[in-house]
Amino acid sequence: AQTVTQSQPEMSVQEAETVTLSCTYDTSESDYYLFWYKQPPSRQMILVIRQEAYKQQNATENRFSVNFQKAAKSFSLKISDSQLGDAAMYFCAYRPNSNSGYALNFGKGTSLLVTP
Partner 1 sequence: DSGVTQTPKHLITATGQRVTLRCSPRSGDLSVYWYQQSLDQGLQFLIQYYNGEERAKGNILERFSAQQFPDLHSELNLSSLELGDSALYFCASSVLAHGDTQYFGPGTRLTVL
Taking CB under 8 A as the criterion, the residue among 44, 60, 69, 115 binding partner 1 is 44
Instruction: Return the range that interacts with partner 1 (CB under 8 A); candidates 7-15, 21-29, 76-84, 94-102.
Output: 94-102
Give the nearer residue to partner 1 in terms of CB position, either 15 or 29: 29
Site string for partner 1, 50-69 (x = CB under 8 A): x-------------------
Residue type, 30: S
Contact 46, 39 (CB under 8 A): yes
Taking CB under 8 A as the criterion, the residue among 3, 7, 40, 46 binding partner 1 is 46
Q: Which DSSP letter does residue 58 get?
A: P
Range list of β-strands (E), 7-98:
10-14, 19-21, 24-26, 32-39, 46-52, 60-61, 64-69, 74-79, 88-96
Site string for partner 1, 95-114 (x = CB under 8 A): --x-x-xxxxxxxxx-----
Contact 48, 36 (CB under 8 A): yes
